[in-house]
Chains A and B, each alone.
Chain A
Amino acid sequence: MKKIEAVIRHVKLEEVKDALTEAGVQGMTVSEVRGFGRQKGYREQYRGEDYVVDFLPKVKMEVVVAEEQLPGVIETIIRAARTGQVGDGKIFVTDLEELVRIRTGESGGEAI
């Protein structure tokens, strides 16, 4: 099992959610985050002062998939979330050691 975390633009959340649902991903958790990459946000002018806005609001989305689904799901997220502009986000994949559905106690693949 793999945990996929994707930091994406707010405006892309619905689209990514719908694309993942269509691809058979059953659930997800999202949270509000702030972040920046190599380009460190952008420059802005405020009251005559030039400054760098680095922490930009993003959405972090987390999903769990079986190993076989991994390449397909990554591709789905990229296709739905990409605009081609700086700030599109990143995807992080980690191994999931264990997964448990609290309501039923099911674990492993059955809890996906």
Chain B
Amino acid sequence: MTFVKKIEAVIRHYKLEDVKNALSQVGVQGMTVNEVRGFGRQRGQKETYRGAEYTVDFLPKVKLEVIVEDSDVDKVIKTITETARTGQIGDGKIFVTNLADVIRIRTGETGRDAI
């Protein structure tokens, strides 16, 4: 156990800058993002195209990953939630997993020192 958690957040594209800045303000310095597509219970939305109604399920989102010490998890979840929320369907989700280890490639530091 490293007492380090990985937090993954699937959020709306246009919220990325806001979330990044808010995280920086609470001391989270680094992150990784990638492009994903997804949907939740409401399965995207219905759209009409050329007179035919169909469900668009996989919607483009951004997945953001940060590593934090256990003691910071609640603060970071709150920061992401408050910044990323619009109140509309499609706001996204946050996933927290335990990290068996984390290593800084440049220096070989591990665990908390690698955050």
A residues sitting closer than 8 Å to B (CB atoms) are: 3, 17, 21, 26-32, 64, 94-103, 105, 111
Q: In the complex, given contacts A27-B41, A105-B81, what are 15 additional A-B residue pairs having Cβ atoms less than 8 angstroms apart?
A: A26-B41, A27-B43, A29-B36, A29-B37, A30-B38, A64-B93, A94-B97, A96-B95, A97-B5, A98-B77, A100-B77, A100-B94, A102-B91, A103-B86, A103-B90
Are B81 and A29 in contact (CB-based, < 8 A)? no
Q: A30 contacts which chain B residues (CB < 8 A)?
A: 36-38, 58
Asked whether, in the complex, the Cβ of B87 is within 8 Å of the Cβ of A103, the reply is: yes
B interface with A by C-beta (< 8 Å)? 5, 9-11, 34-41, 43, 57-58, 61, 63, 73, 77, 80-81, 84-98
Q: Is the beta-carbon distance between B77 and A28 smaller than 8 angstroms?
A: no
Select from chain B the residue with minimum beta-carbon distance to A30: B37
17 contacts between A and B (CB under 8 A): A3-B95, A21-B43, A27-B93, A30-B37, A30-B58, A97-B5, A98-B73, A99-B93, A100-B77, A100-B93, A101-B91, A101-B93, A102-B84, A103-B90, A103-B91, A103-B92, A105-B81
